[in-house]
Amino acid sequence: MTGDPQMTSWSDDLAADVVVVGGGNAAMCAALAARERGAKVLVLERAPEHERGGDTAFTAGAMRVVYESVDQLRELVRDLSDTELATTDFGVYSASAFYDDMARVTQYRADPDLVAVLVEQSHATLRWMADLGIRFVPAYGRQAFKVGDIMRFWGGLTIDASGGGPGLVEAEHTLAAKAGIEIRYGTPALHLLADGDGVHGVTAMIDGRIVDVPAAAVVLACGGFQANVEWRTRYLGPGWDLARVRGTRFNTGDGHRMAFEAGASPAGHWSGCHAVGWDRNAPEFGDLAVGDGFQKHSYPLGIMVNAEGRRFVDEGEDFRNYTYAKYGSRILAQPEQFAWQVFDAKVLHLLRDEYRIRQVTKVQADTLEELAVKLEGVDGEEFLAHIAEYNEAVMTEVPFDPSVKDGKGTRGLAVRKSNWANRLDKPPFVAFQVTCGITFTFGGLRITPDKAEVVSNEGVPIRGLYAAGEIVGGLFFHNYPGGTGLTAGSVFGRIAGAAAAEHSGR
């Protein structure tokens, strides 16, 4: 038919031992690891170059990693100054703490073998990245509070990739170019070249033509299915078509589909996802100019109310690192799928930078009565009655300390606040309207822990097929410890790339 893409034969200038599908952190770690072992690597990135990087480009770059001492931290953050060391309490984050966090927040459903690899290889993997030239910095702006003269880190999350997610994407793509890895942008993979003996390459759309690209091994690192509104509703359930997508518009489940066509086994929490509080007026998909600025993660310092004017979650249940990825779904379940986060003057200076961007849905008032009128969609009378009840329940005798779980809670409320409860009594009062922003889906492919090989429905590895990143199922259920996604992508991306290179004979 006139205008249809034409099928063409293999082009020698795209010859590769390993094809990596995707362009985010997991994909680039796979590509760099395979190239390091001598494989000729071709990366197929569906997005155009100016939108490259998958969801990585939309993150703040936080990475959860084991470090038992400041010396181990300095192996990753290599330009820590003496002043920073003298004025910062970095603490430690032990392997046992990482194990405990993964078990607790996933309700003990996470695959223990995958978790063991993630935890035990986290430090070595980030050290490998640092050796390649990727720079890590302390996450001062989001993960530390000043207590006296000391900046104190909290929540087991200490470092960011320099420049956040966009900086990590830039660094990895620059390293790939220097290593001789070819990257084709605007190039969606369509199908796997598979038979009874495994996977032997991909079919892709290259320069408007459908091309078979043979390769000894393929690594799928092309994200979840969160940007596919039909799949969201099918797997996550009714209402999820109304969620905003925090990141790239290109993560639509193509990798899942291709793998299932080749006989891959699904794994993980297919009705679950990472979902956060997100500005109610944010666009349908992520905006690279704003990045993760639409998120609103300082809710532990205040309260959240729904359209009925009432609180519906324990904002102080835990550090935000351990609750933010599940509270988005709680917001989506509220009437009209929104909430208002409310703060008073006592904590405004502690709010994260994302509350100060230009693109923010915000109201401010000098009295609670005036604020109630400005909270669009909220029952104002019920809000004022609920605030009075909340203020009366706050444990004023307990000191407030945002750097620890301070036990400053409430008494006698149907929905308690366990920590960081302050009365709302000091003007100005400021509120921010949020809805649900979905980050990535938890359902994915079953892989082997040691080589990241995709496993078939028969329970055996599919020869030549590997996976890493959001497409992997089995790590996250119900919830997620902040900063684990990029680390998991790096750990299993490195494993997948190395194993793919080995399979190719390199």
In a domain, 73, yes or no: yes
Domain containing 492 equals 15-79+93-136+155-224+442-503
Tell me if 255 is assigned to some domain.
no
The amino acid at 486: L
Give per-residue pLDDT as tens, 421-452. 999 999 999 999 999 999 999 999 999 999 99
Asked if the model's pLDDT at residue 8 lies above 80, the reply is no
**Is residue 264 domain-resident?**
no
Q: What is residue 242's three-state secondary structure?
A: helix
Task: With respect to residue 1, please indicate whether it lies within any of the assigned structural domains.
Answer: no
Q: Residue 403 pLDDT > 60, yes or no?
A: yes
Please state, in angstroms and rounded to a whole number, the distance separating the CA atoms of residues 70 and 138. Answer: 12
Confidence band for 3, pLDDT divided at 50, 70 and 90: very low
> How much is the pLDDT for 141?
82
Question: E strand or H helix at 485, and its extent?
Answer: helix 484-503
CA nearest to 228, candidates 257, 260, 253: 253
466 and 320 in a single domain? The answer is no
* Segment 408-412 mean pLDDT: 98
Residue 21 near residue 213 (C-beta atoms within 8 A): no
Whether pLDDT at 4 is above 60: no
Of 437, 453, 474, the one marking the end of a domain is 437
Whether residues 358 and 424 share a domain: the answer is yes
Q: Are residues 69 and 205 in the same domain?
A: yes
Supply the CATH number for residue 219's domain. Answer: 3.50.50.60
- Helix (H) or strand (E) run with residue 380 in it: helix 380-393
Claim to verify: residue 420 and residue 450 sit in the same structural domain: no
- For 337, the 3-state DSSP assignment is helix
3-state class (DSSP) for residue 41: strand
* pLDDT for the residue 142: 82
Among candidate residues 488, 473, 90, 421, the one with its CA nearest the CA of residue 273: 473
pLDDT at residue 13 in the model:
63
Q: Is the pLDDT assigned to residue 269 strictly greater than 60? A: yes
Judge whether 244 lies within some domain: no
pLDDT computed for residue 371 by the predictor: 98
Cβ–Cβ contacts within 10 Å for residue 207, how many?
11
Does 116 share its domain with 208?
Answer: yes
Q: What is the mean pLDDT of residues 96-105?
A: 98
In a domain, 245, yes or no: no
Q: Residue 227's pLDDT is what? A: 98
Q: Are strands 266-267 and 303-305 parallel, antiparallel or unpaired?
A: unpaired
Residue 464 within a domain: yes
Q: Does 452 lie in the same domain as 419? A: no
| pLDDT at residue 84 tops 60 | yes
**How many Cα atoms within 13 Å fall on the side-chain side of residue 448?**
18
Query: Mean pLDDT in the chain?
Result: 95
CATH number reported for the structural domain that contains residue 346 in this entry: 3.90.700.10
Q: What is the pLDDT of residues 348-393, one digit of tens each?
A: 999 999 999 999 999 999 999 999 999 999 999 999 999 999 999 9
Q: Are 45 and 23 in contact (CB under 8 A)?
A: yes
Q: How confident is the model at residue 288 (pLDDT cuts 50, 70, 90)?
A: very high
Stretch 104-112: mean pLDDT, rounded? 98
Mean local confidence (pLDDT), 231-260: 97
Residues 169 and 68 in one domain: yes
> Mean pLDDT lowest for which of 5-19, 253-267, 308-322, 464-478?
5-19
Q: How large is the average pLDDT for residues 3-19?
A: 60
| Same domain, residue pair 365 and 448 | no
Residue 246 lies in a domain: no
- The SS3 call for residue 125 is helix
Boundary of a domain, candidates 437, 460, 492:
437
**DSSP letter at 187?**
-
**195 and 104 share one domain:** yes
Percent of the chain with pLDDT over 90: 94
Query: Does residue 498 carry a pLDDT above 80?
Result: yes
Residues 483 and 390 in one domain: no
- Of the pLDDT bands very low, low, confident and very high (cuts 50, 70, 90), residue 137 is very high
Residue 341: its pLDDT value, please? 98
Beta strands at 461-467 and 62-63: parallel, antiparallel or unpaired: unpaired
* Domain termination residue (choose one: 437, 462, 484): 437
Same domain, 305 and 446: no
Q: How confident is the model at residue 15 (pLDDT cuts 50, 70, 90)?
A: confident
Please tell me whether residues 406 and 297 are part of one structural domain.
yes
When divided into structural domains, the chain yields a total of: 2
